């Protein structure tokens, strides 16, 4: 009897284990190969604790475009990253968001090395996701609520397991996934890229514009915005470019460095896809490229804080003729990458 009892117990245990414990699937994420375009830096900012994977990028893409990132499904106040970062506008807003700083584009940020935002005050893309989700003027969500809400959905737990090895959703993994997706936003196939690669020639006007762009006696854009030797089309550094001669913005670069040298200084944004990135400057004061070119030509203001590279300031700017302005604009238009702006791999899944 005792033996039979034991057999019954063992069989019951086996049956119980078989019925209660589902077969475990261990997902191994597939490494994501970040493109390495010609003339781009070799060093990127992918952190050791957040390597890019196919599954992580795909999850980040879904979250980026998903209003449930607000932490609820009510009709009031639902926002996601894509609410302000429109693909057709170089992943910036494409208009005024009514804040004192305009939205910056999300492009080629895998190679950014100087912090994010107009003053560079946010160190990493992972940090920027947290900032954007919790900011009262952005997504304005409660991170705990977001986690709880996504955990209850049918699709997300499995996607997190595929990307990060656990169905238990954490906010840090939300940050990691979206950061991975943003790092995948690579723009490197504009007409200018094809010119650099020897695949396409610029027109006479575009070439004249490039010469203006790249010369001190011309428009002198290259020191801050790169060119053939710096194909990101930005140094990612911070400059006071002579927009103003009084500085009251407490969120300029000096807020990060504490240096008076940095009053009125902001990050030089990339000029990639600049034609679709209006409005311009940190406060979005210019609506068109023509206004921007006019400013650099004859509207630059001197101050103690102006960057030494703005050495045409004593003339009010670089003093371009109308023809030169048109040529410079023609060159800037060669930086538009239609393949990037319309790439369905970056759009709402």
Partner 1 sequence: MAVSCKKPASYGELCVNIGYSVNGKALITDSLCYRNDAGNEFLITEIQWFISKMELQDESDEWVAFEPQFFYIDTNIPESQTLRIASIPVGKYKTLRFVFGLDEEDNRTGLFTDPPESEMFWPDLLGGGYHYLKLNGKYLDSESRLTPLAIHLGIGQNEDHSQFYQNYFSVELPIDFTITESSENQLDLTMIIDNWFRNPNLYDFNEYGSHIMQNQAAQQALKENGNDVFRIGRPTDNENNTNMEKDNRFEEKFKNVMQKAAPKPHFWTWKSLKERMGSPIGTTENRQAV
Tell me how crowded residue 104 is: count the other CB atoms within 10 A of its CB.
22
Q: How far is the CB of 57 from partner 1 (least distance, A)?
A: 24
For residues 59 and 196, which CB has a smaller minimum distance to partner 1 in the complex? 196
DSSP state of 94: S
Q: How far is the first Cα of the chain from the last one, in angstroms, to the nearest whole number?
A: 63
Q: How far is the CB of 257 from partner 1 (least distance, A)?
A: 10
In whole angstroms, what is the distance from residue 160 CA to residue 157 CA? Answer: 5
Q: How far is the CB of 256 from partner 1 (least distance, A)?
A: 8
For residues 189 and 211, which CB has a smaller minimum distance to partner 1 in the complex? 211
For residues 252 and 337, which CB has a smaller minimum distance to partner 1 in the complex? 252
H-helix segments, 115-170: 125-134, 143-151, 156-164
In whole angstroms, what is the distance from residue 144 CA to residue 171 CA? Answer: 8
Give, to the nearest 10 degrees, the angle between helix 125-134 and helix 143-151: 90
Q: How far is the CB of 1 from partner 1 (least distance, A)?
A: 56
Which residue ranges make up the site for partner 1 (CB under 8 A)?
39-43, 71, 100-101, 113, 121-123, 127, 130-131, 134-137, 140-145, 210-211, 214-217, 220, 222, 226-230, 235-237, 246-248, 250-251, 255, 260-261, 263, 302, 304-311, 313-314
For residues 107 and 306, which CB has a smaller minimum distance to partner 1 in the complex? 306
For residues 32 and 247, which CB has a smaller minimum distance to partner 1 in the complex? 247
Q: Please report which helix (H) or strand (E) contains residue 20, including its range.
A: helix 2-20
Q: How far is the CB of 15 from partner 1 (least distance, A)?
A: 41
In whole angstroms, what is the distance from residue 151 CA to residue 71 CA? Answer: 10
């Amino acid at each position: 009897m005792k033996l039979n009892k034991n057999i019954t117990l063992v069989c019951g245990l086996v049956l119980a284990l078989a019925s209660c414990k589902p077969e475990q699937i261990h997902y191994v994420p597939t490494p994501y190969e970040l493109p390495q375009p010609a003339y781009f830096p070799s060093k990127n900012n992918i952190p050791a604790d957040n390597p890019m994977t196919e599954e992580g990028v795909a999850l980040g893409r879904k979250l980026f475009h998903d209003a449930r990132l607000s932490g609820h499904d009510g009709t009031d106040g639902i926002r996601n990253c894509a609410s302000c970062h429109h693909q057709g506008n170089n992943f910036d807003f494409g208009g005024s968001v009514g804040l004192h700083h305009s939205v910056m584009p999300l492009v080629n940020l895998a190679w950014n090395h100087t912090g994010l935002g107009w003053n560079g005050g946010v160190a990493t893309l992972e940090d920027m996701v947290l900032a954007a989700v919790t900011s009262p003027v952005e997504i304005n969500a409660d991170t705990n609520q977001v986690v709880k809400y996504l955990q209850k959905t049918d699709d997300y737990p499995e996607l997190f397991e595929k990307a990060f090895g656990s169905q238990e959703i954490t906010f840090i993994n939300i940050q990691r996934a979206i950061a991975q997706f943003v790092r995948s936003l690579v723009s490197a196939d504009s007409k200018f890229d094809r010119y650099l690669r020897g695949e396409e020639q610029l027109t006479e006007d575009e070439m004249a514009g490039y010469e203006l762009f790249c010369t001190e006696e011309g428009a002198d854009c290259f020191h801050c915005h790169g060119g053939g030797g710096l194909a990101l089309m930005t140094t990612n550094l911070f400059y006071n470019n002579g927009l103003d001669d009084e500085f009251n913005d407490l969120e300029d670069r000096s807020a990060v460095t504490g240096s008076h040298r940095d009053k009125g200084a902001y990050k030089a944004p990339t000029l990639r896809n600049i034609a679709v990135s209006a409005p311009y400057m940190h406060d979005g004061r210019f609506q068109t490229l023509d206004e921007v070119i006019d400013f650099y030509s004859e509207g630059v203001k001197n101050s103690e804080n102006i960057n030494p590279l703005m050495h045409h300031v004593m003339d009010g700017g670089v003093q371009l003729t109308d023809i030169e302005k048109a040529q410079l604009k023609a060159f800037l238009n060669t930086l538009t990458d239609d393949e990037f702006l319309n790439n369905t791999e970056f759009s709402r899944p």
